[in-house]
């Protein structure tokens, strides 16, 4: 079967003051439409580099990315990115931050339709009540919700998230994970998410891609998470399969690819 998104034979090197640094070598990944994929690996192995190549923000030294049978070589709204540190425009309200993305991508729609699109996405992330507030007036978790609404507002083919919950406290993080699961269930979007959190990876993903340590990092293992959806975090906490998946990721990270920083 043809993949929706494929990374083929990706090598990536950076020129640094100390010479060439090969960050990625032979990264191959095939993702189906609607699949939720997490990338996990030790700090500095090259996860963000992979995501930035898919986003078109970086050009691979070798190999390439195909999305829906087209080669990716620059940023475009069909690949929306959500970063860890919400990048909202502080002088615009919550509504206007999302509306800006809608206006850019759906410029030919009527104003009424663009308003509807904006409200639909704010509803998805449960932020309609705060639409007239400015980013400085809402919490970190709420800002992250708006960032997700803004990305979804572009109706991207792939949603790319770089540690989207990394800066949040545990409870806010859990709420937002549940929201993202619900949205994925409703929209069936294709997602690539970087995370350092093993539980989060198992809870949210259809597949966990585990990267070896750099330099010259590559994909060490692919783990298919075959847990029925919708998923419930409390029920899964008592499900032995959840713990087996968790243990498999931990084994990879700690036994086979020990953290060089900790060594
Ligand atoms: N523009 C660049 N120039 C030189 N080196 C770079 C550049 N971007 C990234 N690197 C290096 O590439 C390696 C991988 O970086 P990357 O940010 O992709 O890792 P990561 O796995 O996402 O890390 P973390 O989990 O800490 O966010 C690191 O050694 C980093 O220093």
* CATH code of the domain covering residue 40: 3.40.50.300
Whole domain around residue 93: which residue ranges?
88-155
ipTM for the whole complex: 0.97
CA gyration radius, the chain: 19
Q: Is 47 in the pocket of ligand 1 (CB under 6 A)?
A: yes
- Count of domains forming the chain: 2
Residues 39 and 126 in one domain: no
d(CA 141, CA 86): 9
Residue 106 bridge partners (DSSP): none
Q: What is the pLDDT of residues 59-87, one digit of tens each?
A: 999 999 999 999 999 999 999 999 887 68
pTM: 0.93
Q: Is 46 in the pocket of ligand 1 (CB under 6 A)?
A: yes
Residues 170 and 216 in one domain: yes
Question: Is the distance from CB of 157 to CB of 68 less than 8 angstroms?
Answer: yes
Residue 14 lies in a domain: no
Q: What is the pLDDT of residues 160-184, one digit of tens each?
A: 999 999 888 899 899 999 999 999 9
| Token representation of residue 232 | 């419930």
pLDDT at position 263: 38
Question: Is the distance from CB of 219 to CB of 9 less than 8 angstroms?
Answer: no
Residue 16 alpha carbon, nearest atom of ligand 1: 4
Residues 141 and 169 in one domain: no
DSSP code for 163: S
Residue 196 alpha carbon, nearest atom of ligand 1: 25
For ligand 1, the distance from its centroid to the CA atom of residue 78, given in whole angstroms, is 24
d(CA 94, CA 242): 36
């Amino acid at each position: 079967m043809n993949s929706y998104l494929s990374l083929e034979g990706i090598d990536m090197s950076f020129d640094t003051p100390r010479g060439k640094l090969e960050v990625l070598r032979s990264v191959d990944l095939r993702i189906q439409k609607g699949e939720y994929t997490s990338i996990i690996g030790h700090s500095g192995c090259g996860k963000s580099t992979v995501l930035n190549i898919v986003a078109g923000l970086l050009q691979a030294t070798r190999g390439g990315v195909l999305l829906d049978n087209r080669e990716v070589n620059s940023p475009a709204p069909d690949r929306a990115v959500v970063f860890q540190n919400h990048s909202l425009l502080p002088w615009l309200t919550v509504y206007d931050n999302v509306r800006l993305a809608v206006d850019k991508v759906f410029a030919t729609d009527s104003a009424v339709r663009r308003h509807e699109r904006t409200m639909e996405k704010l509803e998805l992330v449960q932020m309609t009540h705060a639409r007239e507030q400015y980013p400085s007036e809402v919490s970190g978790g709420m800002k992250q919700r708006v960032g997700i609404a803004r990305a979804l507002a572009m109706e991207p083919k792939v949603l790319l998230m770089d540690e989207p919950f990394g800066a949040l406290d545990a409870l806010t993080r859990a709420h937002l994970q549940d929201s993202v699961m619900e949205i994925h269930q409703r929209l069936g979007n294709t997602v690539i998410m970087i995370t350092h959190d093993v539980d989060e990876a198992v809870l949210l993903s259809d597949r966990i891609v585990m990267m070896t340590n750099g330099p010259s990092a590559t994909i060490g293992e692919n783990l298919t998470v075959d847990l029925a959806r919708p998923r419930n975090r409390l029920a899964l906490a008592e499900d032995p399969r959840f713990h087996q998946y968790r243990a498999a990721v931990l084994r990879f990270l700690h036994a086979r690819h020990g953290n060089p920083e900790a060594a």
